A and B are shown apart, each in its own frame.
Chain A
Amino acid sequence: GQQLNQSPQSMFIQEGEDVSMNCTSSSIFNTWLWYKQDPGEGPVLLIALYKAGELTSNGRLTAQFGITRKDSFLNISASIPSDVGIYFCAGHGRSNYQLIWGAGTKLIIKP
């Protein structure tokens, strides 16, 4: 079945640093989504991408839909303490109702 490989699994960074994470697939996705999960809560949608090559920003977050349609990247600039959490990529599965999820990238900010 379709799978999304997300890397890195976790990141330890200093406040103020920029962060990059990515998601790859062996098959083509028509939509790439980036969600964030705060500790003890459900995920929340950050950015949605619908076209190959698309670059979209949401505040300090920027995401790109890869040209091959098999990958996507999320960058966070100038990280702050509230950025901690788990970031998930997701894309549509067999139907529009089914999302396939990456395993997540856990962001930890060093004190």
Chain B
Amino acid sequence: NAGVTQTPKFQVLKTGQSMTLQCAQDMNHNSMYWYRQDPGMGLRLIYYSASEGTTDKGEVPNGYNVSRLNKREFSLRLESAAPSQTSVYFCASTKRGDADTQYFGPGTRLTVL
């Protein structure tokens, strides 16, 4: 079991460029999440998908879109990257009935110049 995988690990973008962060889990979990982590601010929820076919906004959704492609995959898209989106992005998943135990991927470190 690989758990939660994320690609890429690192990315540098110029302002205005677009990109998609990929996330996949092989634990048959129902719910998936995208967070960003900034120094001194903990983790902030961008979007989540409670189950396949549904997505909902979290605390900081502006500038992002998501797609729950199937039960395994949940992608995060930046349509027009801004320097304020420089951050470390984490994907997580949870199984049905246990939203407390979130399994995290290794993160994507994104820099927007």
> Which positions in A face B, CB cutoff 8 Å?
1, 4, 6, 9, 31, 33, 35, 40-45, 48, 88, 90, 92-93, 96-99, 101-104
Q: How far is the CA of A65 from the CA of B102 in the complex (A)?
A: 20
Contacting residues, chain A, for B50 (C-beta < 8 A): 97
Interface size class of B (residues with CB under 8 A): 20 to 34
Nearest neighbor of B42 in chain A, beta-carbon distance:
A101
Residues from chain B with a CB closer than 8 A to the CB of A104 are 42
Closest chain-B Cβ to A22's Cβ sits at a distance in Å of: 15
Listed A/B pairs (19) with beta-carbon separation below 8 Å: A4-B42, A6-B42, A40-B107, A41-B104, A41-B107, A42-B4, A43-B90, A43-B104, A45-B102, A48-B101, A97-B33, A97-B50, A97-B56, A98-B45, A98-B58, A98-B59, A99-B45, A99-B99, A104-B42
**Interface check B75, CB cutoff 8 A:** no
Q: Is B69 an interface residue (CB 8 A)?
A: no
Where chain B touches its partner, the secondary structure class is loop
Asked if A99 and B41 sit within 8 Å, CB to CB, the answer is no
Task: Out of B42, B45, B56, B100, name the residue touching A45 (CB < 8 Å).
Answer: B100
Contacting pair A103 B41 (CB below 8 A):
yes
- Point out the residues of chain A lying under 8 angstroms from B19, CB to CB: none
Q: Are A45 and B101 also in contact (CB < 8 A) when A40-B106, A104-B42 are?
A: yes
Residues in B neighbouring A6, C-beta threshold 8 A: 42
B92 within 8 A of A: yes
